[in-house]
Amino acid sequence: MNIVTGTTKDLRVMVKSPRRRLIVVRFILAIVSVLASLPWSARAADLPGRLSDAEFWQIVTDFSEAGGRFQLQYMSNEDSLQFVIPALKEKVDRDGVYIGVGTEQNFTYIAALHPKLAFVVDIRRDNMLEHLMYKALFELSTDRADFVSRLFSRRRPANLDANASVQILFGAFQQGASDSALYEHTLNAVLQHLMNNHEFQLSEADTRTVAAILNTFRVAGPYVLKGTGDKNLSYAQLMAATDLEGRSQSYLASEENFRTVQLLERQNLIVPLVGDFAGDKAIASVSRYLKEHNAVVNVFYVSNVERYLFEQGDHGKQFYANVATLPLGPSSTFIRSVTVDISRRLGIPLPDSTASWRSFLVSIDDCLKDVTDGRIQTYRDLFEGGR
């Protein structure tokens, strides 16, 4: 009898014989061995292919914590974020789970990694609302040019090819003036899409925040809007930036990258949460959800948040305790960033570069072991390996 296609009755007959019982046991062990040898990313098969609007909003509301205070920031100021992408692609499998912090830089990492599910956890409620604004713009836009037009409230230039390079794409908008009528039209479309189409329950204060964020993009434009700091790149410059091999890998560098993120947004698979890395709810809730769906965190982009956690007593230790609850695999990786100014102040050795930031890939498992063994006591220790 074929064990795979045999009936339950056939199986009962087989196991009466000790010899045949041994065959059945060996067969089961072989199946278990095959499953155990699957890549960690393959175990994310239980994650949904899409979340319903109700599921998405329930996760946003149930997993989130009360918002905290931090400096307002509309975009990334990390000019080194693409430097680690080639190594990241080699180190980490696609189709896992991504966790990040901050604004649009997450889209660039998501475009590179093709996760099955992504969470963006940030202590600022404004950050969650900005991601909802982005979500609506991704879903409403036909291509990158349409997206940039809506994001910055500037009319799309005529004859702009959808497959234009990122330099040509933003160059076409450089001389365009902001358009208040387009801003009002886009704002209404965004709010209607979020509140009527998706039926997300935004408060009046939330809608005012979304309006203020979109207006900031309108007033500044892609060549003036920057992250915090005097030396940082504009939005247009950051999108046209490259990795160390000269390849532009931002989420707007190509139509393919844009559509990777757009598809995940349309499937409700990029979930913004309000959460403190050292809090007792957001990361714990993500951990519980992923374990229930047999999923593994491939990448956790922490930026420079650990610096602020170490400045707040035991918050650093609590963060690593939270991370230790997440389902992790052998290649699970932190993306960690530090500014040149802070590195000089703390005596952190950095590789030579003209960039204002440095980005690093670190094994999460190794980091947690160093924390447990007492080799990491300060923020500086993260870059010394605790030695």
Which pLDDT does position 232 carry in this prediction?
A: 86
Residue 161 has pLDDT above 60, yes or no: yes
Q: How confident is the model at residue 3 (pLDDT cuts 50, 70, 90)?
A: very low
Distance of CA 314 to the CA centre of its chain: 25
pLDDT(28) > 60: no
pLDDT of 227 over the 80 cut: yes
In terms of Cα–Cα distance, which of 94, 59, 64, 52 is closest to 296? 94
Rounded Cα distance, 273 and 57, in Å: 10
Query: How long is the chain?
Result: 387
pLDDT for 185-208, tens place per residue? 999 999 999 999 999 999 999 999
What is the spatial distance between Cα 286 and Cα 279, in angstroms, rounded to a whole number?
Answer: 12
Per-residue confidence (pLDDT) for residue 325, from 0 to 100: 98
Task: Indicate the helix (H) or strand (E) that contains 21.
Answer: helix 18-36
Give the model's confidence band at 75: pLDDT under 50 very low, under 70 low, under 90 confident, else very high. very high
Given a cut of 60, whether residue 13 has pLDDT beyond it is no
Which carries the bigger pLDDT value, residue 40 or residue 368? 368
Are 20 and 11 in contact by the 8 Å Cβ rule? The answer is: no
Q: 3-state class of 84 per DSSP?
A: helix
Helix, strand, or coil (residue 118): strand
Encoding tokens for residue 263?
A: 């598809």
Average pLDDT rounded to a whole number, residues 103-120:
98
Q: What is the pLDDT of residues 79-100, one digit of tens each?
A: 999 999 999 999 998 889 999 9
Query: Which of the two residues, 84 and 386, has the higher pLDDT score?
Result: 84
Which two three-digit tokens encode residue 385? 């390996």
Res. 281: pLDDT tops 60? yes
Give me the pLDDT at residue 22, please.
Answer: 52
Question: Between residues 227 and 7, which one has the greater pLDDT?
Answer: 227
Amino acid sitting at position 86: P
**Domain 43-139+223-384 belongs to what topology?**
Rossmann fold (3.40.50)
- pLDDT confidence tier of residue 351, bands split at 50, 70 and 90: confident
Other CB atoms within 10 Å distance of the CB of residue 203: 8
Q: Check if the beta carbon of residue 274 is closer than 8 Å to that of residue 313.
A: no
Q: Yes or no: say if 112 and 132 are a contact pair by the CB < 8 Å rule.
A: no
Q: Which residues of 9-44 are buried (b: 16+ CB within 10 A; e: fewer)?
A: eeeeebeeeeeeeeeeeeeeeeeeeeeeeeebbebb
Instruction: List pLDDT tens digits, range 116-151.
Output: 999 999 999 999 999 999 999 999 999 999 999 999
Q: What is the per-residue pLDDT for 17? A: 57
pLDDT (mean) for 35-64: 79
Q: What angle do CA 91, 93, 94 make, to 5 degrees?
A: 135
Is the pLDDT at 12 greater than 50, yes or no? no
Task: Count how many Cα atoms sit within 13 Å of the Cα of residue 348 in the half-sphere of its side chain.
Answer: 24
Say what the pLDDT of residue 386 is.
39
Taking the C-alpha atoms of residue 192 and residue 139, their distance in angstroms, rounded to an integer, is 12
Of residues 33 and 369, the one with the higher pLDDT is 369
pLDDT at residue 304 above 90? yes
The residues facing 336 across adjacent strands are 303, 360
| Distance from C-alpha of 241 to C-alpha of 226, rounded to nearest angstrom | 14
In this prediction, residue 162 has a pLDDT band, given cuts at 50, 70 and 90, of confident
Name 48's Cβ contacts closer than 8 Å, sequence gap at least 6. Answer: 55, 293
Pick the range with the lowest mean pLDDT from 39-43, 157-161, 198-202, 368-372.
39-43
Give the strand order in the sheet containing 297-303: 270-274, 117-122, 97-100, 297-303, 328-339, 357-363
- Residue 15 pLDDT greater than 50, yes or no: no
Q: What is the pLDDT of residue 45?
A: 58
pLDDT band at residue 29, thresholds of 50, 70 and 90?
very low
Q: State the Cα angle at 362 between 273 and 353, rounded to 5°.
A: 100
Whole-number Å distance between alpha carbons of 88 and 8:
47
Out of 272-276, 337-341, 344-348, the most confident range is 272-276
Pairwise CA distance, residues 117 & 265, whole Å: 10
pLDDT at residue 8 in the model: 40
* 12: Cβ contacts below 8 Å, ≥ 6 apart: none
- pTM greater than 0.85 (yes/no): yes
Q: Which residue has the higher pLDDT, 37 or 90?
A: 90
Query: How do the domains of the chain map onto residue ranges?
Result: 1-37, 43-139+223-384
Between CA 187 and CA 183 the distance in angstroms is 6
Please give the mean pLDDT across all residues of the chain.
89
Which amino acid does the sequence have at 273? L
**Weakest-pLDDT range from 128-137, 155-164, 361-370:** 155-164
Q: How far is CA 369 from CA 98, 103, 341, 362, in A?
A: 21, 30, 28, 12
| Mean pLDDT within 338-348 | 89
